[in-house]
Amino acid sequence: MVKLSSAPVSLQCPWLVRFSSRRMKAHLMVLQQVARRTLTTTARRQVENQVPQKQKLFQADNGLPVHLKGGASDAVLYRATMGLTVMGTLFVLYELGKAALPQKKE
C-alpha cells in the first residue's frame, strides 16, 4: 500500500502546479470566448457615417446659436438647464438670507 503525503501539491510536484495553472488559464480564455459569443447573437449592423450631415447642420448660417441648432430637444434641454439654474440660485439666496438673519428666540 502506498502512503500519500500530506504535503501541499506544490512541494510534491512543482511541474504539476505550473501545468494546472496553464490549463486553468486556457479554460478561462475558452470560457470568455464562449460567453462573448452567447451575449452577441445577432450580426452587427452597419451604421452610416452621419458626421458630414451633422457638420452641415451645425455650420449653416440660420441665425440660431450653436447650442440650439440641434432642434427641439436642444431647446428643451436649454430651457430645463436655465430653469434649474435660476431655481438653484434663488434657493441659495434664500438659504443665505435665512442664515444671515437667524430667528429670535423668545
Read off the pLDDT of residues 39-79 as tens digits, 9 standing for 90 and up: 666 666 788 899 999 999 999 999 999 888 989 999 999 99
The closest alpha carbon to 58, from 66, 48, 50, belongs to 66
Predicted local distance difference test score (pLDDT) of residue 53: 92
CA dist 23 and 52 (Å) reads 50
Torsion angle, alpha carbons of 59, 62, 63, 64, to 10: -70
Amino acid at 31: L
Q: Considering the entire predicted model, what is its pTM?
A: 0.50
